[in-house]
Amino acid sequence: MVQTQEKPREAAIAVESEPYAPIVLRLPTHWELTEQCLMELSSLNDPWRFERSSEGALEIVPPPGPLSSDRGGRVYAQVLLGGDDRGSAFESSAGFRLADTSIRAPDVSWVSNERLSGIEVDHEGAWPVCPDFVVEVRSPSDRLSQQQTKMRQWMANGARLGWLIDPFGDSVWVYREQQGEPEQITRPNQLDCGDVLPGLTIDLAHVWRQPGG
C-alpha cells in the first residue's frame, strides 16, 4: 500500500454498535487497496480476515470462535467429499475477486470444473471467479442483516446457490439463482444442494447442538 507523507484527508472508521461487529475502514482517496495489499495485510495479521467491498473499503472480520469454526468445518468436509470430482471446495481462507470488484472469502464455497476451466489460476491471490455454491455461517460477530446483504451480493455476482446458516435464529436462509426472495427453513437436519450438486445432501444436525452435545 503506497502512503504519502501528507496528512490523510479522511480515514474514518465505522463500527457497528453490536459487540464484536466487523470494522469497516474507509481509506483516503490517495490510497489504493490493491489485491496485493489485501493479501499482505492478511498474511501479517492472521487469523483476522480482510475483505474488500465493491466500494473499495477495507473490511476487517474477527476470527470465528471455536464453535463457529466447527460448524463451518463440518459443512466444508461434506462439500469437499461430495463434490470433489465435479469441482473444488474451499474453506474460509480462499478469496474470490468478483465482477463488482469486491474480494470476498466465504466460510465454505464450491466452484464447478466448468467455471474453473475458464480462469487463470493465481497460486497466491484471489481467484477471478464467483463460486457456484456459497455458505456463510453466522457467528457472534455478524449481524443477520449484514450477512443477508452479503448473500445478495454473492447471488448478484453469479452464485447459483447460497446458504446463510444462522444458529442463533435456528434457521437456514436458502438463496437460489433467479429466485427473488430467499427461503427460510427452520432447523433443518439436512439440506440437498439441488441442481448445483445433484445427489449431495448436507447433514446440518450438528449446527443446532449445544457445545459438547
> For residue 178, what is the domain's CATH number?
3.90.1570.10
Q: Are residues 48 and 124 in the same domain?
A: no
Residue 112 inside a domain? The answer is yes
45 part of a folded domain: yes
Assess whether 137 and 156 both reside in one domain. yes
Percentage, residues of the chain above pLDDT 90: 54
Same structural domain, 70 and 139: yes
Residue 196 domain boundaries: 66-208
Residue 8 lies in a domain: no
- What backbone torsions phi and psi does residue 87 show, to the nearest 5 degrees? 175, -160
Q: What total number of domains does the chain contain?
A: 2
In tens, the pLDDT along 129-177 reads 999 999 999 988 788 998 999 999 999 999 999 999 999 999 999 999 9
- Output the pLDDT for position 180: 86
- The reply to whether 26 and 114 lie within a common domain is no
4 in any annotated domain: no
Query: Is pLDDT of 83 > 80?
Result: yes
Task: Report yes or no on 196 lying in a domain.
Answer: yes
Average pLDDT for 46-68 = 81
Last residue of a domain, one of 61, 77, 95: 61
Looking at the fold, whether 84 and 147 belong to one and the same domain comes out as yes
One domain for residues 88 and 179 = yes
Q: Which residue, 191, 23, 138, is CA-closest to 150?
A: 138
**In terms of domains, do 23 and 97 share one?**
no
Q: Is the pLDDT assigned to residue 4 strictly greater than 60?
A: no
Residue 3 lies in a domain: no
Of residues 139 and 213, more confidently modeled? 139
Residue 5 lies in a domain: no
N residues, the chain: 213
122 and 201 within one domain: yes
Can you list the positions of beta strands (E) in the chain?
13-15, 23-25, 49-52, 58-61, 87-90, 96-97, 103-104, 108-112, 133-137, 161-166, 171-176, 183-186, 190-192, 201-203
User: Does 7 map to a domain?
Assistant: no
Could you tell me if 21 and 42 lie in one domain?
yes
| Same domain for 92 and 48 | no
Residue 47 sits in the same domain as residue 142: no
